[in-house]
Amino acid sequence: MKKTFLTVIFIFFLAAVSHGAQTLYVAVTGDDANPGTADLPMRTIQKALDSFTEDDRNLLLRPGRYEITEPIRVTLTDEKQRLTMRTWPLRGYVEPATISAGRAIGGWTEVQPGLVVTEIAEVKSGEWDFRDLYVNGKRAVRARHPNDGFFRVDVCGEDKRTNFTYNEGDLKNWDDLDGVELVFMHDWSITRCPIKEINETERRLTVPVKIGCDIEFFVLDWWEQHPRYFVENSRAFLDAPGEWFLDKKEGKLYYMLCEGETADTLHVIAPVAKQIMIVTGTGVSEEKVFPRVQFLNLHFQHAVGFFPKFKDTYWGMQAAVYFSHPDANEHYHADPAAVQCEDISGVRFLRCEFSHLGENGLWIGKNTSDCLVGECKFYDIGANGIMLGTHQHAGFAKDLVVRFCELSHTCVTLYGGSSIWVGFAENTLIQRNHIHNTAYSGISLGWQWNPQPSPSRNNHIIGNHIHDCMTQLSDAGCIYTLGWQPESTISGNLLHGVITAAGRAESNGMFLDEGTKGFTIEKNIVYDTGQSSLRFHRADYNIVKNNIFANAEGVPMIRYNGIPEETIEKIDNATPEPGAEELRKAIEEWMKEFAK
């Protein structure tokens, strides 16, 4: 294990270009009829990739924005093949090369003070639809009601699945109800679905199929007697700066200007392609490999969120996994990421940025090994930021590393995801990352709800700063685990800023859920959590030692649900008061070390 990590870390600092390799250049001002030299670059990335004739390859991208309508395919068909793709020149550039799966939208006209509109022929004809919009480098708000916060259900319907009554004045039978979407909050996931009817006389909202996936505890009032919800996507909701509405029947896009914006200063992008890049190879190498594919200093932006679903409904289950049919709980899926890696060893993402994405960011998935994500930034992502491993035992990943990255504002539309999700994986290192401001968990490790053997083992979460998680949902924490993972550790992390859960179950600094076994939890600092620093639920034997847990008065250091306290071995854990000097000094020393 140590040898693997040291090898990967050494490779991290190697030069990004293979000298003597075949080198092709691409520029937004180039031409695909060009030979791909520095003076005569090609225009498209895919054309350049398809033009290589040698095994050792460098693809250098001039700074600029490269629009795509289909995902770029990086395919290595022989183990001897190598590829480095990066912005060129590496230093001294004004902006990086950005690969965008979106399209710029112009032609704006101000039709009333603060409201602009443009017509899009492909929307009116049904050729184009989108759920995300980015204005002047920021995600705009799909018109919603209320503008902030949530409504509360008054009374759940008799079947607790298809309808509920709302409070007086909250909802109306809007003229464009057929396009309005209900966003319903469960404890650790959401449902997004159409609305069948709003009966103003009875104050009753009814949906076409049902709310919540086909598990008994997803009935409407399992976690909250008066659960939270909001509605979005009506012209009537367009009443606050930064909101937008797409009228698909008329082919018109409306936007409410923010302060300082005018129709002439808008730079608007809407997603077109579902994925940005798909990287595949020849499978997992049995030996440790020199980097086969390296991506350096590139930006990936504007991929589509993967809609529509069955009956236009998203029944979220956990970690951005959703049920594809309302009556078959074994049929769950996770949509591909904007950048997807499968059947390949030795992939590196160094100093890259993933932002303004509709669903999942980067997924290093089935049959992958010896991969590294280093010094990258992930923000404004609809669901999971980084995904590692698989949802099944077959094809599990091994020897994956995420280090020195920053992940923030993930799970912004599909709330029940994680900044970093790890499924079935072996020898994973998640170290010295800064993770903050996410709707659900910071790091989720494991995908088996029992203590039976699985491929997951020797996984490590070390020295991360994780805070302000669980901002929308409940029943997880800065770190969340599942299943038996022998020889695994959660060590030296600084965890804080977890609010008291809105739902039935707690939110914690660390939540070790069903089947968790084989972990050593040591030298972590946990403070400023509304509920217990550490919680176990139906877990098994783990060691908890030398941690600092600073809980408010009356809040237990560790919460045990469905597990005898003696199952957990506890050694020399400190419990200072939240404002104690001991805690202040420990945090100060940790921050000094993290900054090195």
pLDDT (tens digit, 9 = 90+) per residue, 331-354? 678 999 999 999 999 999 999 999
Q: Is the pLDDT of residue 3 over 80?
A: no
> How big is the chain by its Cα radius of gyration, in Å?
25
The mean pLDDT of 236-249, rounded to a whole number, is: 97
Q: Is the pLDDT of residue 284 over 80?
A: no
Q: Is the pLDDT of residue 5 over 50?
A: no
**Domain CATH code at residue 596:** 2.160.20.10
Euclidean distance between CA atoms 64 and 260, whole angstroms: 26
pLDDT in tens, 254-276: 999 999 999 999 999 999 999 99
Tokens of residue 17, six digits: 């270009």
How many CB atoms are located within 10 Å of the residue 566 CB?
9
The mean pLDDT of 109-135, rounded to a whole number, is: 97
In sequence order, what are the residues at sequence separation of 6 or more whose Cβ sits closer than 8 angstroms to the Cβ of residue 93?
Answer: 63, 87
Q: Within a domain: residue 264?
A: yes
Asked if 151 and 265 sit in the same domain, the reply is: no
Burial (0-12, 13-18, 19+ Cβ within 10 Å), 250: middle
Give the DSSP H/E element, type plus range, for residue 120.
none
Q: How confident is the model at residue 323 (pLDDT cuts 50, 70, 90)?
A: confident
Q: Is the pLDDT of residue 15 over 60?
A: no
Residue 447 lies in domain? 376-596
Euclidean distance between CA atoms 325 and 213, whole angstroms: 8
Burial (0-12, 13-18, 19+ Cβ within 10 Å), 201: exposed
Cα separations (Å) of 220 from 190, 324, 501? 11, 19, 17
Q: Which residue, of 189, 218, 235, is where some domain finishes?
A: 235
The mean pLDDT of 227-231, rounded to a whole number, is: 97
pLDDT in tens, 566-577: 999 999 999 999
Give the pTM: 0.95
Q: Within a domain: residue 215?
A: yes
Tokens of residue 343, six digits: 């059947």
pLDDT of residue 504: 81
In whole angstroms, what separates CA 472 from the centre of its chain?
Answer: 14
Return the sign of the alpha-carbon dihedral for residues 360, 405, 424, 495: negative
Burial (0-12, 13-18, 19+ Cβ within 10 Å), 327: exposed
Asked if 431 and 489 sit in the same domain, the reply is: yes
Asked if the peptide bond before residue 556 counts as cis, ω within 30 degrees of 0, the response is no
Asked if 499 and 566 sit in the same domain, the reply is: yes
Asked if 429 and 549 sit in the same domain, the reply is: yes
**Domain CATH code at residue 157:** 2.40.30
